[in-house]
């Protein structure tokens, strides 16, 4: 066995699968807590903050949809008004016969 191989074997750790899975789960939980803390969502109000953000996003979607519907209605009314004005001008209801 060479010195390099011996060094690699000294650095290896052998764990039973259950301990390894437990270690992974703990590391994942720590990482998640750290990430939440970094974005300011580690306190008791975090759940309410997330709900508020979801409500805000839903309100924005509703506002966009309503705005688009309103624009389509106004354009439709404008086109119809122009058609009525054109027909009225062509037929001349305000001109004496």
For residue 96, is pLDDT > 60? no
Provide the residue ranges of all domains of the chain, joining segments of one domain with +: 1-42
Note the pLDDT tens digit of each residue in 41-87: 888 888 898 899 999 999 999 999 999 999 999 999 999 999 999 88
Q: Which pLDDT does position 3 carry in this prediction?
A: 60
Q: DSSP readout, the chain?
A: --HHHHHHHHH-----HHHHHHHHHHHHHHHHHHHHHHTT--STTHHHHHHHHHHHHHHHHHHHHHHHHHHHHHHHHHHHHHHHHHHHHHH-TTS--
Tokens of 87: 């027909």
Q: How far apart are CA 19 and CA 76, in angstroms?
A: 68
Q: How far apart are CA 14 and CA 93, in angstroms?
A: 97
In this prediction, what percent of the chain has a pLDDT beyond 90? 58
- pTM above 0.85? no
For residue 8, is pLDDT > 80? no
């Amino acid at each position: 066995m060479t010195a390099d191989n011996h060094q690699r074997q000294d650095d290896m750790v052998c764990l039973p699968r259950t301990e390894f899975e437990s270690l992974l789960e703990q590391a994942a939980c720590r990482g998640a807590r750290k990430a939440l803390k970094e974005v300011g969502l580690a306190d008791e109000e975090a759940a309410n903050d997330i709900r508020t953000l979801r409500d805000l996003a839903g309100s924005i979607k509703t506002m966009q949809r309503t705005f688009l519907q309103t624009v389509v209605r106004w354009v439709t009314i404008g086109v119809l008004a122009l058609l009525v004005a054109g027909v009225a001008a062509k037929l001349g209801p305000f001109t004496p016969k």
